[in-house]
Structure 1
Amino acid sequence: MNTLASEWLKIRSVRSTYLNLVLSMGGILLGLAVAWTAAGMYDSAPPHRRPQAALAEVEEVVVIVPQLCMGILGALAFTSEHVSGMLKTSFTVVPRRWPVLMAKSVVVGLLGLLAGTITVFGTHFLCRLVIGDRFSGIYTTPVFERLPTLVTTSLSVPVFALLGLGAGAILRSTAGAVSTLVGLAYVIPMICGNLPEPWSERLGSVMIGGLPRQITQADLTNSVYGSLLPPWAAAIIMIAYAAVPVTVGTLLSCRRAA
């Protein structure tokens, strides 16, 4: 508990934590702007074209903002201490080292969960108000029917936070960890989407962006991701995105010099 309290004190003592949280929740404003623009375009379209108008769930697009911000926060939770030398002090006080990484994981994961939940649910409810019954009633579905996908989409944010922490512990470089996060969020999915079938579908199915909807068996017909995984497999892969980097980073930290 003392280690956990120490990590909480450290992470809330730096301005970058608050900046990343604010930027994460700024995704709500981005979602509001997208919804407002989409509603305006729908209203200005000729009546005969409105039935063909389509819109993706906005919260599943803007979730990239808190994913990246919390991933960066996770990376900084390790790399900033490594650069400043504070990590050596932490490992001196806690010689076994792994409790330090576990405490960081708990703090970073909870902050990611907070940011993800507020951003995803906040965006969803604002879009319900702004878009209304436009776009074939995409936002008129009862909330309880959308709840599983909203929850799993929110959970992808702490996954990114822990992925960032693990990447930071493995690479010991903020730039390297952030590049890894950007690659997973943007670059690799774009590459997968342009591959010939069946590789586009196969690789797209294991990308983080496609896992939440596969876990809940939601419709992925118009998604850029694949939909080949059963819910249990998608859930395991999503957990692995967080658990494997943190585990590897912990093992390396126990073997390396601080």
Structure 2
Amino acid sequence: MSVLTSEWLKIRSVRSTHLILSLSLATILLGFALAVSAAGMFDQASPERQSAARIADLEEVLALVPQLCMGILGTLAITGEYATGLIRTTLTVVPRRWPVLAAKTAVMGALGLIIGVAAVFGTYFVARWTLGDRFSGAYAGQFVDKLPLLVATSLTVPTFALLGLGLGALLRSTAGAITIMAGLVYVIPMIIGNIPGPWSERLGSLMIGALPREITGDTLTTSWYGALLPPAAAAAVLAAYAALPLLSAAWLIHRRDA
């Protein structure tokens, strides 16, 4: 418990933590601004164009912001200690080493979950309140029908937080870990989208962006991701994104110097 308390104090005492958390929650304001803009364009359109108008799920699109923010925070939680040399003091106080990584995992996982739920649900509710029954009722359906997808999307945020932590512990490089995470979100999906089928859909189904809808069975035929995984397999892949780097880091932390 003392190690857990120590890691929590480290995270909350760093100025960058407050900035990153603020940027993550700013997703709600960004969602509100986009919803207001979309509502204004919809109201000015002709009835014919209104009937054909569609809008993407803003909470799903904007989840990229808290995902990357929390991934960066997870990376800094470990690479910052390596950069300053504080990791030597930490591992001297906790010579078994693995409790340090376990405590960081618990703190970042809990923080990522809170931020994920707040950002995703907050964006959904402001978009629902702003758009009403516009865009063929995209936000006018029952909330309970949308709940599973909102929960699954929220879970991608702590996944990124733990992915960043694991990559940071493995690479000991903030730039390297962030580059890999940015590639998972932006670069790799674009590359996969240009691969000839059926490999494009097969590999796309493994991307984090595809997993929430695969977990809930709520797939989009217009998505550039694949949709081949059953819910249980998609949930396992999402967990693997966080677990595999952390398990690798837990193995290495005993086998190399601080």
Scaled to the shorter chain, the TM-score interval is: over 0.9
Mapping of 1:89-104 within 5 angstroms? Answer: 89-104=89-104
Amino acid at match of 1:128: R
Mapping of 1:121-132 within 5 angstroms? Answer: 121-132=121-132
1:164-195, Cα deviation, whole Å (9 max, x unpaired): 00000011000001101100111111111222
2:190 is aligned with 1:167: no
TM-score by length of 1: 0.98
The corresponding residue for 1:19 is: 19
Instruction: State the 1:244 CA deviation.
Output: 0.4
Mark the runs of 5 or more structure 1 residues left unpaired by the alignment. Answer: none
The corresponding residue for 2:184 is: 184
The corresponding residue for 2:109 is: 109
Instruction: State the 1:219 CA deviation.
Output: 2.9
Mapping of 1:31-42 within 5 angstroms? Answer: 31-42=31-42
Q: For the residues of structure 2 that align with 1:103 and 1:6, how far apart are their CA atoms?
A: 9
Secondary structure in 2 aligned to 1:12? helix
The corresponding residue for 2:81 is: 81
Amino acid at match of 2:213: R
1:228-258, Cα deviation, whole Å (9 max, x unpaired): 0000000000000000011111211111100
Amino acid at match of 1:62: L
Secondary structure in 1 aligned to 2:13? coil
Q: For the residues of structure 2 that align with 1:31 and 1:254, how far apart are their CA atoms?
A: 44
Q: For the residues of structure 2 that align with 1:81 and 1:177, how far apart are their CA atoms?
A: 15
The corresponding residue for 2:119 is: 119
Q: For the residues of structure 2 that align with 1:138 and 1:164, how far apart are their CA atoms?
A: 33
Instruction: State the 1:222 CA deviation.
Output: 2.0
The corresponding residue for 1:28 is: 28
TM-score by length of 2: 0.98
Number of aligned residue pairs: give it. Answer: 258
| Superposition misfits of 4+ residues, deviation over 2 angstroms | none
The corresponding residue for 2:70 is: 70
Q: For the residues of structure 2 that align with 1:219 and 1:170, how far apart are their CA atoms?
A: 34
The corresponding residue for 2:210 is: 210
Instruction: State the 1:200 CA deviation.
Output: 1.5
| Cα pair 1:220 1:226 within 8 Å, conserved | no
Mapping of 1:125-140 within 5 angstroms? Answer: 125-140=125-140
Identity of aligned residues (%): 61
The corresponding residue for 2:249 is: 249
Computed over aligned residues only, the root mean square deviation of the Cα atoms, in angstroms, reads 0.8
Q: For the residues of structure 1 that align with 2:115 and 2:185, how far apart are their CA atoms?
A: 17
Higher mean alpha-carbon deviation, 39-48 vs 76-85, is at 39-48
Q: For the residues of structure 2 that align with 1:256 and 1:28, how far apart are their CA atoms?
A: 42
The corresponding residue for 1:158 is: 158
| Cα pair 1:163 1:241 within 8 Å, conserved | yes
Secondary structure in 1 aligned to 2:218? coil
The corresponding residue for 1:141 is: 141
Mark the runs of 5 or more structure 2 residues left unpaired by the alignment. Answer: none
Q: For the residues of structure 1 that align with 2:115 and 2:2, how far apart are their CA atoms?
A: 25
Secondary structure in 2 aligned to 1:220? coil
| Cα pair 1:75 1:168 within 8 Å, conserved | yes
Amino acid at match of 1:14: V
Secondary structure in 1 aligned to 2:123? helix
| Cα pair 1:215 1:231 within 8 Å, conserved | yes
